[in-house]
Amino acid sequence: MSFGSRARAAMAAYGPACVGIDPHSSLLAEWGLPDDVEGLDRFATICVEAFAGKVAFVKPQSAFFERFGARGVVVLERTIQDLRHTGSLVVLDVKRGDIGSTAAAYADAYLDEDAPMAADAITVNPFLGFGSLQPFFDVAAKNDAGVFVLALTSNKEGPEVQHAVNGDRTVAGDVLAQLAALNADAFPMGSFGAVVGATIGDAAEDLAINGPLLVPGFGAQGGTVDDIRRLFGSVIDNVIPSTSRGVLSAGPDVQALRDSVARVNAELVGS
């Protein structure tokens, strides 16, 4: 099955929420864990137990593992492997973007099914030119994986690039239009999605890309169900709201974590 098909099935089975696995130092401290590889490993193990096969999407943030060096990357690799093929889809948040053979190498590292760190999907940065992402799309298509392209992020610096005008539309609008072209005729939806922040306010761009829309900023970062309903309107069925602290603050108790994400999904589905 394509990533788009698997994503749609997972959303129907579990609800649309994506749980970000972000083991930053303050969260480790809240869980009573040391800010070292042992604490990281315990944190990741708890998250796997709580979320594997219980939520549609999990999104490990690579940077919070990489900060511990090679041993942290080993924990990330094992976490991905433990989460995959449980019913939950792993979106690895790496925001890679490069050109030529380097882009192809990144694609092979994260999207080739035989790679040690293969994920169901990754995040990528299009601002070296949308065409520079072609190796990611090619490897993803070959392996039934997905790609989420940054389009309208909610960081305050984002508009400097994303709202710049390129011809008759914004740079973000151009990214979204090219994703829509890649997803044309895909059913139930395409495998190439966009990252659109829940706290951007309003979007003049067309968000109907026939692909998944990964929406960070929901929950503790300020985005609400009302924001999602207003911003995404007719394409709300493709929205994957992502929350980390809003769920993870319930840890380290496994059942409390499961209850927390269940409440998030209930709120989203009830919208």
Q: What is the mean pLDDT of residues 179-203?
A: 95
**Pairwise pLDDT comparison (154 vs 52), residue with the higher score:** 52
Reply yes or no on whether 142 is catalytic. Answer: no
Check pLDDT > 90 for residue 122: yes
| Token pair of 133 as six digits | 């992402």
pLDDT tens string 130-159: 999 999 999 999 999 999 999 999 899 999
pLDDT of residue 271: 54
First-residue to last-residue Cα distance in the chain: 29
User: What is the DSSP secondary structure assignment for residue 109, as one 8-state letter?
Assistant: H
Separation CA 123–CA 95 (nearest Å): 5
The active-site residue, picked from 54, 59, 95, 142, is: 95
For residue 148, the one-letter residue type is F
Q: What is the mean pLDDT of residues 216-226?
A: 84
Distinct helix (H) and strand (E) counts, the chain: 12, 10
Q: How confident is the model at residue 262 (pLDDT cuts 50, 70, 90)?
A: very high
Angle between helix 134-142 and helix 100-111 axes, rounded to 10 deg? 30
- Domain map of the chain by residue range? 3-269
pLDDT tens string 235-245: 999 999 999 99
Check pLDDT > 90 for residue 166: no
pTM across the whole model:
0.97
Given CATH 3.40.710.10, say whether it is the number of domain 3-269: no
User: 151 near 162, Cβ under 8 Å?
Assistant: yes
Of 193, 247, 201, 243, which Cα lies nearest the Cα of 218? Answer: 243
Length of the chain counted residue by residue: 271
Separation CA 155–CA 169 (nearest Å): 21
Q: What is the mean pLDDT of the chain?
A: 96
